[in-house]
Chain A
Amino acid sequence: MAAGKQCDSKQQWEVIKKSFFIEGNLSDISDGEDDLALVIRLVQQLGAGQLVLDLALDAIWVALRQSIVPKFWSNFVIYNSQRCGKDDDPGEGSVEVMSRVATAISELYDSAVSFLPQIHRCEMLCEHSGAKFEECIPGGMMEHFKLHLRATLHSQMPTSFTNLLHKFYSAAFKVFYHAEVGNQVEESDETTDEAMQCGGCDAATDACHCQAITNTFCQVNRQLLELDLLERLAGDIISSLLLSVITDHVSATCRDSYDQSRISQLEKWVENVVIGWLEVVYCGGRGQLSSADSAIQTMVANNLNQTYMTALYHTYTTTRIDQLFNIVIEYPESQPALEDIRECLDRTHLRNHLVESLRSAIQTRLLHPGVNTTDVLHAYISAIKALRVLDPKGVLLELVSEPVRQYLRGREDTVRYIVTSLTDESCSELSEELLVAAPLVLDDSHSDDDNMDFWETWTPDPRTADIISMLVNIYGSKDVFITEYRTILADRILSQFSYDTEREIRYLEHLKCEVMVKDVADSKRINSSINSDENPRREKQKFPVSCMILSAQFWPSFKEERLQLPEEVMKELDTYTEAFQDLKGNRTLNWKPHLGQVQVEIELKNRTLNLTVTPTQATVIYHFQERSRWSIGDLSTITQENFPCPCQGVLQEVESDVFVLVEGEELGDKGHTATVGVSQPDIAPPAIEEDEAESVMASAQDQREEELQVFWSYIVGMLTNLDSLPLERIHAMLKMFVQGSVECSPQELRAFLDRKVRQHQLIFTNGLYKLPKN
């Protein structure tokens, strides 16, 4: 009985073993529901449910680990070893890769499917015998199986697999992309592209594998999806593939063209191509979306869509930021690109990146000695305009432009250039900006700062991005700028005498020099009143006198020159002064004799010259009426002028510093004639070119020099008492003695002292300044 029982139990065990394939061969799985029901009852009787289940599952895991997964991976390992050593081999064509992957995966799929009855049995067993498998895993036995499959696959994955799968997916994507794009531009592309080879699979058109590839691809995806392996094995590859595709596409789209808005076009592209392809991958094709799992649908629709759109914005913005310097330089044309960036900046977190990148681009491309000040300024202006588009609040501009401002401050010719271009009509960019710009308004927004009711919605005040203010602000204050501007304006007014102030008025309203302009307008009125016919003095007048009457306090200081005008002229000027005094009680005029414009007619023996000359020139030629030969020294005594300028081609230098009047036409024969305009004297009054360019105003630098001159006597005193001193000591002592009167930086003082050294008024040795010994 015992033996029989033993035999019986052995038999029973064999049956169970066979039924659940414990230690069994997977190939001979038999399927019999009746049989299964019996066996389960048997197991129940024996009370060995848990044991049997454990054994059965273990058998499956072992099979997975030892045969199925290694076999699957061996497909790829072989591939790897074959390829070894020939890296530059183009490798298998897309078709071979496709078929290899497809075979491997369908093999895997088949073997996995062959386990299904087994899994089913185990489930039945659980149900009837109350046996339990690991409880922590949600889902049924099937999930449990898939989990093991994934884990086992992962534990043995060869490195080459990723490459291969990447190839697989990119080939598939290429086919898809070709079809997708081909659909859109079919007519235009047909002739060129189709003729040679298929754009999808790189094979000759007549042997196109596109359809085959698509079919294989769909099959593989479906199988992977069913095994829950798609995301696990290919998810990363798919997303990295798509990201690189997006990057390529974006940079191809954005290359060197800033004049179109691209963002909506790109959004559409992502929607069509990227999302479209994802639908193919995850749902087996566009049309079948409805039939696919609803969870996957939602995932594709929301999650992925958002992910790839974000990626698109990020890529696009990064690309544009890299190009930002060029975009800025080409500003008015690049407006659409800037608007794109502005839109994207709100959706990405690239503000800081933008600032950093633009700053460094400016640093390397703009702020070096090889670039003209003009160009730096143009770039600066473009940047102001462009960044205004990007960020109306001006915060970006503030951040980016600071280094440029700092740099421009260091260039000597900046002020002069800005001012010239502001006033020069030919350089329209800035002058137009001046005309359209609203006058510099003081920001009165602080008045409602006290209003705390809306503190939650408070935003920082917009920074001023008015171009003129930005330019002026390069120097931190208007002073330097206005000084220079006044100098230039004075030159312009005093060299043109046109009394046409319309343009200047507009500039000046912005720059607060309106007094100068008003002087011009007033002068015009006073002149016409004094020179009107009703004025009794007019009859006695030998020639009309007009005057530019200036308000000294509001003009830059004039170079002091004491030109002694001819008696006749002085009388006329005095008459004018009297007329002025009558007109404006209690006021009188101080003439600047060397400034002005004189129309003279010079009658020579055989010709008459009509010239417009400076007062100095007029005076000189006037004196040649009395004597036809003057030496420079004599002339200087009479005119009080240090360097009379012999010119007009009527004077000739016969010996050094001695001039004679040339009456006849026989110029050029003896000696060298002095200047211009002789050959065609009657055509037009040739303007005197000489010295015209020299500014009549003391330039800002000259004025500064004069201010520094105040220090000189102190310095001489110091050095007399203390013999020799270093720069720092001199500076410190000056600060103590001359407190408050003139500010002076050590650098400026050094420049001043160095000039003195060059003029031999100082000696500089061993870092010490001292006076030369007489």
Chain B
Amino acid sequence: MKVKIKSWTGVATWRWVANDDSCGICRMPFDGCCSDCRLPGDDCPLVWGQCSHCFHIHCIMKWLQSQQLHQQCPMCRQEWKFKE
């Protein structure tokens, strides 16, 4: 007997490859979305800083805009620079 698989339709869940489960700013899971968004993933992506902390992009942008003098990572207080 020979079994030939002609096509395989699977089911998977996606997740961000990140060193934490939830965003340090909004406390929502990375795989969810920030409090302003309704759709996760492409519509509410994550960004990484050079300090290797990551946040929902909307969350960190909001945070950075609220800082007048120094743009710091809310977790480690280092200067925030987007990881290339």
Contact = CB atoms under 8 A, between A and B. Distances in A.
Interface of A: 494, 497, 514-515, 518, 522, 542-555, 568-569, 572-573, 576-577, 580, 584, 586-593, 595-605, 610, 615, 618, 621-622, 624-625, 628, 650, 661, 663
A602 B3 contact: yes
Contacts of A592: 10-13
A596 B8 CA distance: 8
B49 interface: no
A543 B7 CA distance: 5
A573 B10 contact: yes
Interface string B14-48: 11111000000000010110000011111000101
Given A553-B31, A586-B46, A624-B1, A569 B16 contact: no
Given A592-B13, A596-B9, A603-B4, 6 more contacts: A584-B14, A587-B14, A590-B12, A599-B7, A602-B1, A628-B1
Contacts of B42: 522, 584
Contacts of A628: 1
Contacts of A622: 3, 5
A521 B40 CA distance: 14
A546 B1 CA distance: 26
Nearest to A696: B11
Contact of A546 (B3, B5, B7, B15): B7
B9 A497 contact: yes
A598 B5 CA distance: 7
8 contacts: A546-B9, A548-B11, A592-B12, A598-B9, A602-B4, A603-B1, A603-B3, A615-B10
Contacts of A554: 32, 40
Given A586-B18, A625-B3, A661-B1, A553 B32 contact: yes
B2 interface: yes
Contacts of A625: 1-3
A494 B12 CA distance: 11
B15 A590 contact: yes
Contacts of A587: 14-17, 41
B45 to A, nearest CB: 8
A-B pairs, top 4 by smallest CB distance, nearest first, are: A595-B11, A552-B13, A553-B32, A599-B6
Contacts, number: 148
A599 B5 contact: yes
Interface in B28-78: 29, 31-32, 38-42, 46, 48
B39 A547 contact: no
* Chain B interface, >50% SS class: strand
Contacts of A553: 29, 31-32, 40
* Chain A interface, >50% SS class: mixed
Contacts of B38: 514-515
Contacts of B3: 600-603, 618, 621-622, 624-625
A27 B39 CA distance: 110
Contacts of B2: 602-603, 625
B75 to A, nearest CB: 18
B14 A580 contact: yes
Nearest to B28: A553
A605 B15 CA distance: 45
Which residue among B10, B29, B32, B48 has the maximum number of chain A CB atoms within 10 Å of its CB? Answer: B10
Contacts of B8: 543-546, 569, 572-573, 596, 598-599, 615
Nearest to B10: A596
B10 A593 contact: yes
Nearest to A497: B9
A518 B39 contact: yes
Given A552-B31, A580-B14, A625-B1, A597 B9 contact: yes
A553 B40 CA distance: 9
Contacts of A586: 16-18, 46, 48
A649 to B, nearest CB: 13
Given A515-B39, A554-B40, A543 B12 contact: no
A513 to B, nearest CB: 11
Contact of A598 (B7, B29, B39): B7
B5 A600 contact: yes
Nearest to A555: B13
Given A518-B39, A551-B41, A553-B29, A601 B10 contact: no
Contacts of B7: 543-546, 598-599
B51 to A, nearest CB: 16
Contacts of A598: 5, 7-9
A546 B32 CA distance: 23
A650 B10 CA distance: 24
A590 B16 CA distance: 11
Which residue among B13, B38, B39, B41 has the maximum number of chain A CB atoms within 10 Å of its CB? Answer: B13
Nearest to B5: A543
Contact of B11 (A547, A568, A602, A603): A547
B1 to A, nearest CB: 6
B14 to A, nearest CB: 5
B38 to A, nearest CB: 7
